[in-house]
Structure 1
Amino acid sequence: MILTFDIKLLPAPEMPPPWKATIALDAASTLEDLHLAIQRAVRFDNDHLYDFYIARTPYSRKRVRFNDENLTGGELGSRAIESLLPLPKGRRLFYLFDFGDSWRFQVSRTRHKPYEPAPGVEYPQLIAEQGERPQQYPHLEE
Structure 2
Amino acid sequence: MGLFGKPKEVEIFAPCDGQVIDLEQVEDEVFSEKMLGDGFAFDPDNGNFVSPMDGKLITVFPSGHAYGIKHKSGVECLLHIGLDTVSLNGEGFDIKVSQNEIVKHGDKLVNIDFKTVKSKVPSMKTPLIFTEDALGGKKINIVKKGPVKQGELVAIIK
- Shorter-chain TM-score category? 0.3 to 0.5
Query: Relative contact order (alpha carbons < 8 A, sep ≥ 6): 1 or 2 greater?
Result: 1
Q: TM-score if structure 1 supplies the norm length? A: 0.33
More strand by share: 2
